[in-house]
Amino acid sequence: MKIKYTDSLIIGGGLAGLRTAIATSAKGLSTIVISLVPVKRSHSSAAQGGMQSSLGNCIMGEGDNEDVHFADTVKGSDWGCDQEVVRMFVQTAPKAIRELASWGVPWNRIKKGDREVVINTKKTTITEKEEAHGLINARDFGGTKKWRTCYTADATGHTMLYAVTNEAMRLGVQIEDKKEAISLITKDGQCFGAIVRDLKKGGLTAYVAKGTLIATGGYGRIYKQSTNATICKGTGHAIVLNAGGYMGNMEAIQFHPTPIVPSGILLTEGCRGDGGVLRDKDGYRFMPDYEPEKKDLASRDVVSRRMLEHIKKGKGVMSPYGEHLWLDISILGRKHIEKNLRDVQDISKTFNGIDPADKDKKGWMPVLPMQHYSMGGIRVTPKGESVNIKGLFSCGESACWDMHGFNRLGGNSVSETVVAGMIVGDYFGDFCKKNNINIDTKMVEDELNKQDDYLNNLLKLDGDENIYDIKNEMRIIMQNFVGIFRNGKDLKIAVEKLKTLLQKSKNIKIKNKCRLLNPELEEAYKVPMMLKVALCVAKGARERTESRGAHHREDFLKRDDKNWLNRTISYWKNEDDLEPTLKYEKLDIMKMEMPPAFRGYGKKGNSIENPISQKRQNEVDKITKEHKGDRYELQEKLMPYELQEIYKEKNQRLGDENE
């Protein structure tokens, strides 16, 4: 038996996994990171627009702080998030960005004096303060009150990922790329590591660890059209499902308003943040009609729906790939585009032959909402530990700890990866330090043999199904029946069809019988994993008879705080089940710092209120009114939360003395 031991095993080498590895290494734990690809190619590298952090350095960010960031994030989530987790996040984000600066992320910096920006399509001059010169700059993003998104042009994820990888290498973290975890080693509700497949040679090895953390990102590839990289298949979620672990809110899927048509490559929200606008077939800027206040910069779920609503009114642009709308950044001027939106320009030129800096219509880019982000994931506590498997942790996009609820704000995802890596990484490291395990080699060997047999048996199957057809069909079902606009009828069809596909995936035939490097064999074990994830999404969506954030039901248009202020838990009860079992976790309004209310964008009066919301609001108002002391003490009174002392420290800002 090939077996390898480490204190901490981290599955996934993107920003969240690598930042976690830094945390465990700092505690003196031996740490191995395994990754499907060389870690600097992880999907984190594709994050473009920026990272939210309430530094409040730039003039348009003046007055920003944790409280404002908190409120934006909770509203963005449509009250589906865990507010304590959001507090942990907003308090740590400024520290994360400052740490990253010291590791070399070349954040765009503020230049004192006048500069010209485009606000509401008008050229406007803003004046940066003398004392802010050289501090980290920020741009505007959707659903935020302040300019809070810090950036390096439109390659923010890239520079962050490089800095974090470099720091991990400096600390001697053992990074093993081209490795894939295909199952977890678990016994009696505890995780002891994973069975790992070598993608360079094809063999299996058991990695045994005191603690295992999953940071494998999202599962967008279950959809036909997604901005996600080819590796975002949700196999990290599937191995947890196969071990009996719980998922949270898998139906909460974000559709980004502006991937380019037809390739589905993302064009950052920074395009609109910097002043770009959406236009219809007549060149008309339609978003202000729907969203008078936030216009093109309402939250992503709202903008995506408004776009499709507008297309349904006959305002879409016809193309061989169906209808789309235009994204116009030409109004920002060539100089700005070639400096701050250069990757967008490169993508548009290469894949569509359009230079977005060209004047007027010539530079407009065809866009259409597509799958972009997975709010749901492995259900974990605020400390990042699985709620039902001991020794198993998760953070970043793969986890549902649950910071985003039913809609994530742009710029909050890369921010979350690093912040969660800091917080959860620290708790995870403590867990690995404290918990010794007794290694039952028989158990390890059994799991290794089980997986070995499974792969051999896949090669022996002699059915008449083709795994590529099954995968393609799954992606089309998700696209057509579990998309932006959902309804009971479609969702019912989707669940049934996906179940059939899962059954069919056991009746395939693989042409090439090579056991080692065999792409077809890889599909054969991955597609059933993807199907299980897809079933969690579809069934969760079918059962949730309300509209909240990105989950929009045409047959249940209102947000239902009375019946649906809860989190969907999905899991695989028996190995041979064809669908997940669901249950629900209630959200406690009486503990919320901000009880449910109107988001400030989207349709008004569109919720079924829970009487407890008002009761809690009255209580919050009373505490606030009677409070004497600073905002930190008030926050503590309203909703105390646990966080490591170093992360709870106050964040220094310009104008602190005014508080």
Partner 1 sequence: MSREITIIALKYNPSDETSKPRFAEYKLPETAGMTLYIALTKIKTTIDHDLSSDFVCRAGICGACGMIINGKPRLACKTLTSEFKDGKITLLPLPTFPLIKDLSVDTGSWMKNMNIRVNSWIVSTQKTDISKFEKKIEPKVAEDIFELDRCMECGLCVASCSTAIMKENFVGAVGLNRVVRFSIDPHDERNDADFYELIGDDDGIFGCMSLLACEDHCPKNLPLQTKIAYMRRKMVMV
Please say if 272 is a catalytic residue: yes
Contact 525, 551 (CB under 8 A): no
Distance from chain centroid for Cα 502: 26
Nearer to partner 1, 339 or 615 (CB): 339
Please say if 548 is a catalytic residue: no
Q: Which two tokens stand for residue 560?
A: 């239902």
Q: Which two tokens stand for residue 606?
A: 């569109």
Q: Cα–Cα distance between 416 and 404 in angstroms, integer?
A: 10
From residue 255 to residue 294, the character string flagging contacts with partner 1 as x (rule: CB under 8 A) and all else as - is: -------xx-xx----------------------------
Nearer to partner 1, 477 or 589 (CB): 477
From residue 197 to residue 236, the character string flagging contacts with partner 1 as x (rule: CB under 8 A) and all else as - is: --xxxx--------------------------xxx-----
- To which residue do tokens 């720091």 refer? 167
Residue 502 CB, shortest distance to partner 1, in Å, is: 20
Residue 152 CB, shortest distance to partner 1, in Å, is: 5
Nearer to partner 1, 164 or 620 (CB): 164
CA dihedral 451, 445, 194, 175 (to 10 degrees): -110
Contact 47, 414 (CB under 8 A): yes
**Of 155-163, 268-276, 493-501, 595-603, which segment contacts partner 1 by CB under 8 A?**
155-163
**Of 171-179, 204-212, 402-410, 550-558, which segment contacts partner 1 by CB under 8 A?**
171-179
Nearer to partner 1, 164 or 214 (CB): 164
Residue 41 CB, shortest distance to partner 1, in Å, is: 4
Count residues near partner 1 (CB under 8 A): 79
Q: Cα–Cα distance between 512 and 370 in angstroms, integer?
A: 34
**Of 109-117, 141-149, 445-453, 629-637, which segment contacts partner 1 by CB under 8 A?**
109-117
Identified binder of partner 1 from the candidate list 626, 652, 657, 658, rule CB under 8 A: 652
Burial zone of 150 (CB within 10 Å; 0-12 exposed, 13-18 middle, 19+ buried): buried
Closest CA to 140 of 35, 59, 214: 59
Nearer to partner 1, 172 or 611 (CB): 172
Neighbours of 437 (CB within 10 A): 15
Q: Cα–Cα distance between 616 and 589 in angstroms, integer?
A: 7
Using DSSP's 3-state secondary structure scheme, residue 275 falls into coil
Nearer to partner 1, 345 or 412 (CB): 345
Identified binder of partner 1 from the candidate list 16, 60, 153, 271, rule CB under 8 A: 153
Contact 210, 391 (CB under 8 A): yes
Residue 202 CB, shortest distance to partner 1, in Å, is: 7
Q: Give me the catalytic one of 43, 158, 221, 272.
A: 272
Answer left, alpha or beta for residue 569, where phi above 0 means left and psi between -120 and 50 means alpha: beta
Task: Tell me if 166 contacts partner 1 by CB under 8 A.
Answer: yes
Q: Which two tokens stand for residue 11?
A: 């599955």
Applying the rule CB under 8 A, the residues between 352 and 391 that interact with partner 1 are 352
Distance from chain centroid for Cα 388: 22
Q: Which two tokens stand for residue 353?
A: 């032959």
From residue 88 to residue 107, the character string flagging contacts with partner 1 as x (rule: CB under 8 A) and all else as - is: ------xxxxxx-xxxx-xx
Using DSSP's 3-state secondary structure scheme, residue 229 falls into coil
Applying the rule CB under 8 A, the residues between 574 and 613 that interact with partner 1 are none
Residue 50 CB, shortest distance to partner 1, in Å, is: 13
Closest CA to 10 of 216, 234, 212, 233: 212
Residue 159 CB, shortest distance to partner 1, in Å, is: 5
Nearer to partner 1, 347 or 491 (CB): 347
Closest CA to 451 of 177, 239, 233, 222: 239
Closest CA to 83 of 589, 592, 628: 592
Task: Tell me if 325 contacts partner 1 by CB under 8 A.
Answer: no
Three-state SS string across 64-109, please? CCHHHHHHHHHHHCCCCCCHHHHHHHHHHHHHHHHHHHHCCCCCCE
Identified binder of partner 1 from the candidate list 346, 555, 630, 659, rule CB under 8 A: 346
Applying the rule CB under 8 A, the residues between 536 and 575 that interact with partner 1 are none
Residue 518 CB, shortest distance to partner 1, in Å, is: 7
Q: Cα–Cα distance between 475 and 373 in angstroms, integer?
A: 15
Identified binder of partner 1 from the candidate list 30, 62, 129, 351, rule CB under 8 A: 351
Q: Cα–Cα distance between 269 and 49 in angstroms, integer?
A: 6
H or E stretch covering 583: strand 581-586
Using DSSP's 3-state secondary structure scheme, residue 392 falls into strand
Q: At what angle do helices 519-543 and 235-242 cross, to 10 degrees?
A: 70
**Of 169-177, 404-412, 446-454, 532-540, which segment contacts partner 1 by CB under 8 A?**
169-177
Applying the rule CB under 8 A, the residues between 464 and 493 that interact with partner 1 are 468, 472
Applying the rule CB under 8 A, the residues between 493 and 522 that interact with partner 1 are 510-512, 514, 516-520
Nearer to partner 1, 97 or 477 (CB): 97
Residue 79 CB, shortest distance to partner 1, in Å, is: 29
Task: Tell me if 85 contacts partner 1 by CB under 8 A.
Answer: no
Residue 193 CB, shortest distance to partner 1, in Å, is: 22
- To which residue do tokens 């439109």 refer? 154
Residue 297 CB, shortest distance to partner 1, in Å, is: 24
- Count of helices and strands (H, E) across the chain: 18, 25
Applying the rule CB under 8 A, the residues between 410 and 469 that interact with partner 1 are 468
- To which residue do tokens 């909460």 refer? 252
Q: Give me the catalytic one of 43, 69, 87, 256.
A: 256
From residue 173 to residue 202, the character string flagging contacts with partner 1 as x (rule: CB under 8 A) and all else as - is: --x-xx--------------------xxxx
Q: Pairing relation of β-strands 31-35 and 174-177?
A: parallel
Half-sphere exposure of 510 (CA within 13 A, CB side): 21
Nearer to partner 1, 81 or 347 (CB): 347
Residue 55 CB, shortest distance to partner 1, in Å, is: 8
Identified binder of partner 1 from the candidate list 523, 546, 579, 593, rule CB under 8 A: 523
Q: Determine if the peptide bond prior to 262 is cis (ω within 30°).
A: yes
Residue 282 CB, shortest distance to partner 1, in Å, is: 25
Applying the rule CB under 8 A, the residues between 11 and 70 that interact with partner 1 are 37-38, 40-43, 45-46
Nearer to partner 1, 314 or 320 (CB): 320
Three-state SS string across 332-381, please? HCHHHHHHHCHHHHHHHHHHHCCCCCCCHHHHCEEECCEEEEECCEEEEC
Catalytic positions are 256, 272
